[in-house]
Amino acid sequence: MGAVAGRSYIELSELFERRRLPRGTPILLDATMRPVEPLTSWFRAMGLAGYGPGGHRGQLVWMDWELSQDGWATVVLRHTRTGITTKHLLGSAEHPRTFSFAWDAHDVVTGYAPNGDYTWTITAESVDGVPLDFTASGSFKVVRKTAPHDFNDNGSLDVLQRDSEGVLWRVDTSSYDGSLSLASRRQIGRGWQIYDRIEATGNLGGTEVGDLLARDRSGVLWLYQGNGLSGFATRIKVGTGWQIYDKIEAGSDLTNDGRADVIATDKYGGLWLYPGTGNAAKPYSARKKIGMGWGIYNELTAVGNIAGGAAGDVVARDKYGLLWQYLGKGDGTFAPRTKIGGGWNTYTSLVGVGDVTKDVRPDLVGFAADSEYLYRATGDWRAPFARAQQAWLHYPATGTTTLPEGESTENGSALVQWPGGDGDHQRFRFG
């Protein structure tokens, strides 16, 4: 223990002993290097680690404060980028001088807190409600790996919906105890009825959040870069002639270079690869033909690396409902297909959703007319998915109907619409 102005070694030793601080734990000092009174403050733990209540992967920031007299404390947390602010009153009749606060970056109701810088400020008052002349503050940062279908930069899966008036909505999800459900919903913007294909791509343009590709009815392809605030930057024209493709998939790194790639099938069954560049002005390089005979499939999904191989993988469903696995070799091509199983024609669409269960493996969601099921990746190519778990990604009270004629492309890019609430909604498959 080093010297501190105004405090002897003995005094500091007694202070640390009285508060039972672990050896080496920092306490809050003022500008003259004196321990702050009447309150000392320190972080007992900092970071996103461990397990929280219920066994879910914890994302906790632990904070402890101790008052030199009985009282109450108020802690205010603020997310710097969005301004999201929460206030927490701390106090205990049993321990009126000690305040412990475990802030969880996951809330079972509102979902995950966004990534980035946070500040905290604490004020105190006596048990009689008299404010004490004390304020302390500090900061911490929440950092997660970029999620491929995350548009508000909070690490969780987002589901896109387009209503009958062309309004696009983002529904944030929450994964708790291995389940997947809706958390919150926000309008993105109007005018999206001009597109016949909307594809979530992951980080295609070089930002830290997910992007979108949208194809208009004349075959022009547009890139919408995510801004991390649930919306997108002004669209960028990135291609023409894309009407020749009946399926477009993105979000999986097939070339093992750390960037999301795009694949597409034409009406003759040819499979084309567009390697990602990470450059928004030109997000992919010249196409390469990597296969023929892919016209036998009515569903194509880039799922990421589900089998622990060299690169991202693809699953494809044939007209008999059989699901086939194509393991990526890391050069944009695939190993010979292997059969996963039958009965997958139950679903109108299969979506590679990234790692929604926080086990470092990408997952798959199957969308049926009135239900959804989550398939967790195992990392074993011989049985790449665990048993299905029901997910809750629609509003049961509204009922469901199939899409009207002409609204979806051949591969079913639009999933389901349901009447009620604020319009008929179409859920788009993504990546």
Low-confidence stretches of the chain (pLDDT < 70) are 1-59, 107-111, 176-178, 395-431
Beta strands per DSSP E along 344-386: 349-354, 363-367, 372-375
**Cα separation of 261 and 266, whole Å?**
17
Strands 60-67 and 211-216: unpaired
Maximum alpha-carbon separation in the chain: 84
Spatial CB neighbours of 50, under 8 Å, sequence gap ≥ 6: 58, 60
**If we measure between CA atoms, which residue out of 29, 68, 22 comes closest to residue 45?**
22
Please state the φ and ψ torsions of residue 44, each to the nearest 5 degrees. -75, -35
**Cα separation of 205 and 260, whole Å?**
9
pTM, entire model? 0.73
Spatial CB neighbours of 16, under 8 Å, sequence gap ≥ 6: 1, 25, 27
**If we measure between CA atoms, which residue out of 251, 153, 144, 237 comes closest to residue 203?**
251
**Cα separation of 344 and 325, whole Å?**
13
Written as six digits, the tokens of 398 are 């509204």
The pLDDT value recorded for residue 10 is 53
**Cα separation of 66 and 92, whole Å?**
12
Adjacency order of strands within the sheet including 372-375: 349-354, 363-367, 372-375, 389-391
The pLDDT value recorded for residue 203 is 86
Q: Which CA distances in Å does 248 have to 58, 258, 356, 362, 412?
A: 36, 20, 22, 19, 11
Amino acid at 210: G
**Cα separation of 238 and 249, whole Å?**
16
In 390-402, which positions are buried (b, 16+ CB within 10 angstroms) versus exposed (e)?
A: ebebbeeeeebee
The pLDDT value recorded for residue 26 is 40
ω into 38 cis (within 30 of 0): yes
Three-class secondary structure of residue 429 per DSSP: coil
Strands 349-354 and 271-274: unpaired
Written as six digits, the tokens of 145 are 């790996």
**Cα separation of 198 and 351, whole Å?**
13
**Cα separation of 291 and 63, whole Å?**
55
**If we measure between CA atoms, which residue out of 141, 183, 187, 180 comes closest to residue 162?**
187
In 121-137, which positions are buried (b, 16+ CB within 10 angstroms) versus exposed (e)?
A: ebbbbeeeeeebebebe
Written as six digits, the tokens of 377 are 């990746």
